[in-house]
Amino acid sequence: MTTAEPPNGLSRRNMKAPESEELSSHVGSHNVQEENLRQWQKHAQKVKLKALEQVQDQLSDILDKALTDSIQPFTCIHPAGNKKSTAKTSLRSQKMDNGKVFMDRASLWSKSETLNTNTLDQTDKCELEYDNEDTAAELELFEISHIRTIYHMFIAVLLIFCLSTLAVDFIDHGRLVLEFDLLFFAFGKLGTVVWAWTVMFVYTLLVPYYALVFWGSFYHTFPSKVLLSVGTGLILSALQTCVLSVFPIYVVIENQLPPASRFIVILEQIRFLMKSYSFLRETVPGIIKNTPKEGKRPKIPKLSSYLYFLFCPTLIYRESYPRNSHIRWNYVGVTFVRTMGCLFYVYFILVRLCVPVFRPENYQPFSKRTMVLAVFHSILPGIMILLLCFFAFLHCWLNLFGELLRFADRMFYKDWWNSTSFANYYRTWNVVVHDWLYYYGYRDFLWLSRGKFRTAAMLSVFIISAVVHEYALAMGFGFFYPVMFCLFAVFGVVFNFTMNDKRQSPMFNVIMWACLFVGQGVQVCLYCQEWYAQIYCPRTENSFLELVTPRSWSCSYQR
């Protein structure tokens, strides 16, 4: 059997055709790949150039920022070395010359607003960086769940106090009505308080201001500048003594105002004295230094700026302060409700935890055992009253006025609860009063002594603060019992020097809180005992010894 084969030529042509087609297809695909490679290389080159441009821009920004940061310490007057402690010392020395710097700052318990640093000069930026570094966490602490839980716990305790008061009244009197007899008594005679405050306010607004206007108008042209200054100062001092010193005391004693009304008058008296002094202290040196041109009057602050200062929550006068753009009325309402809530909270603490222990029917003869038990029983209401007074006044009340007046600097306190030293506690507990004592007490004392006697300057500030605190308590309660003075001027001074800023261990924070607990317990215990002793063992004569001797030492009241 034979097989038919194609001719040799045809077979050879058929074999070459697939080979040529395969070769041509291979060459074509190779050309496509080369074209794709060239396009990819072009694209990669473009990406490379773009990436290099972006990297160059970023490096330029980084270098500019690095240069700015490297220059900033020198503009802040930081010595070589640029250590944090050195920078702080330099900034403090700068503040000694320039005074307090006000800026847009929020309280630690309030939501922080973003600070526009473009409106600040270099000194203010340095102030912001170094003065607030320990309180940099200016965020709303209520947004932290742990802090919010503690806040809710305090509200729950307030509700428990209300329910317990209702239950006791229902059991004893068969009624379910909350009565606030003690609260109404404490804030009695408010009409007298209003007109007394009006007199003090009108005097503080007009008399110191126009005394400054009179003195400033003639100071640079009067033949004897010393005679003019001394004469004006003596007349103003006499008026200050009569209206802001004697008048409030007379109103309180003559009208027998109840305790809360007394405290309103006396604390406003102290506030007006501090405000008027700051106004004169800040404006007089400027008038003396700046001699006006011939035919022109010296530059004197406007009455409107002084009026604003009398209500804004600071004791350091400036012609202008950083202001917020608008008023948050929701915040105003919430803050006012919180203030009223703290007031009722303190009322329930006194009614439920203090009055039942110290009222006459529960009186026990004095002994070491009863005194120790009474002090430790008073620790809980004492520390709660301390925290509530801090939150109600230093946070709610001052922030309320700050918001209404669009006052932007809300650093009324710092994180005093984290203090490991009493020196830091005294600086951070009440920044508003501390600033006044620092600039017009401590700093002026050093200026008069030419930088010497720093310890004496610190002691003088402590003594002044202790005397004013004791004066307010004595006039508010209506009796003299120097518990606050002893704790402040004796133990406070000792703790200030022994527990200083070198103490950084957390154990010292425990010690500080333990001392606060015991101190508040002692104050609540002794003042409550003296309150009832003054009622049930009245004075038999008005001698000086009888006035200054605590009645609870000798009184044995029992119903």
* Active-site position among 26, 78, 152, 469: 469
What's the distance, CA 552 to chain centroid?
Answer: 37
According to DSSP, the residues that pair with 105 across neighbouring strands are 409
d(CA 120, CA 103): 8
Q: What is the DSSP letter of 292?
A: P
d(CA 377, CA 524): 10
What's the distance, CA 364 to chain centroid?
Answer: 42
The token pair at 525 is: 């215990």
Q: What residue type is assigned to position 222 of the chain?
A: F
Q: Is residue 469 annotated as part of the catalytic site, yes or no?
A: yes
Neighbouring C-beta atoms of residue 318, cutoff 10 Å: 19
Q: State whether residue 323 is helix, strand or coil.
A: strand
Spell out the residues 6+ positions from residue 35 whose beta carbon is closer than 8 angstroms to its own.
none
Provide the H-helix boundaries in 255-397: 259-289, 303-311, 329-349, 355-358, 368-377, 379-389
Q: Which residue from 429, 513, 413, 419 is spatially nearest to 465, judged by alpha carbons?
A: 429
The token pair at 145 is: 């769940």
d(CA 61, CA 3): 87
Neighbouring C-beta atoms of residue 219, cutoff 10 Å: 18
d(CA 515, CA 193): 36
Spell out the residues 6+ positions from residue 325 whose beta carbon is closer than 8 angstroms to its own.
406
Q: How many CA atoms lie within 13 A of 142 on its CB side?
A: 10
The token pair at 11 is: 């077979």
Residues marked active site are found at 469
